Structure 1
Amino acid sequence: MTNDKPEYNDLIGDIVKEYAKTGGMDNLPGMGKPLSEEYLSGDVFQNFQRIAKEQGYKPYWLELQHAIRDDLNKLNADIQAGKKKDSELRLKQINDKIFKYNQQCPPPMQKGSVRLESIEAAISRWT
């Protein structure tokens, strides 16, 4: 009886092993020191979120939220100044970003699309 299962291939593990062979793991900061208690408490995801936040990482949906807010403010300022050219196209682009945002963000933070008539109310929701 033969084993027809394909051999397990760990690509990330292979990359790390190769990096270690070339000396890439020799002088890492904190090497040889024990981990602090806070790294061993809580769950893995909470630790990841904390470390990512400390390093300045922003989730994609948060970057989209800031871009949508800025776009809405610019569009509203242009409309108030009487520059209504391409406002429908710009609003469609903003709503496309809102659609992407809603696909990425946590469900309680999802927001509806924006109309020109309700742009000021939308700005207050996105601020």
Structure 2
Amino acid sequence: MAEEKQEIRTDLIGEILKEYEKTGGMDNLPGAGKPLPAEYFSGDLFQHFQRIANEAGYKPHWLKLQHEIRDQIQGVLEQLQAGKKKDLPLRLASINEKIHEFNKSCPLPLQKGSVTLENISRMASRWE
């Protein structure tokens, strides 16, 4: 039996864009045919991406996590103030898992340490 060679796709995004163009998705785009602003050719490419993404309303995953962690820490503090200690270790473990995920995806200067019952008040102010 002869073996069939499978086609290896190396440019998936390129193929998607070509298909989108064939179906007319690239027609009548804002700014079509106009030169790119000079600022697009100066400075850092990543900074340009961040600015454009921000203008489009995109929020990075680590920023969403930051808000979730802050809210969860506040929830634990409220639970402590009400004298309810049920499920606290489980809730702290969940928060620390999110902190670990946050630290893997955020810029290095923004990384933070784990939360414990002893440091939760201090850490709450760091997550505001």
The question of a shared fold, defined as TM-score above 0.5 by the shorter chain, is answered with yes
Once the two structures are TM-superposed, the CA of residue 43 in structure 1 deviates from its matched residue by: 2.5
Once the two structures are TM-superposed, the CA of residue 7 in structure 1 deviates from its matched residue by: 7.6
Once the two structures are TM-superposed, the CA of residue 60 in structure 1 deviates from its matched residue by: 1.0
* Paired residue type of 1:96: E
Partner of 2:39: 38
Q: What percent identity do the matched residue pairs reach? A: 62
Gaps of 5+ in 2: 1-6
Partner of 1:97: 98
* Paired residue type of 1:21: K
Once the two structures are TM-superposed, the CA of residue 8 in structure 1 deviates from its matched residue by: 7.3
Describe the superposition over 1:52-103 as per-residue Cα deviations: whole angstroms up to 9, x where unpaired.
1111211111111111111001110111011221111111111111111111
Partner of 2:49: 48
The TM-score, its normalising length taken from structure 1, stands at 0.86
**Using the alignment, how far apart are the partners of 1:123 and 1:28 within structure 2?**
45
The TM-score, its normalising length taken from structure 2, stands at 0.85
**Using the alignment, how far apart are the partners of 2:125 and 2:39 within structure 1?**
38
**Using the alignment, how far apart are the partners of 2:98 and 2:82 within structure 1?**
24
Alignment of 1:83-122 (within 5 A): 83-122=84-123
Which range moved further: 61-70 or 36-45? 36-45
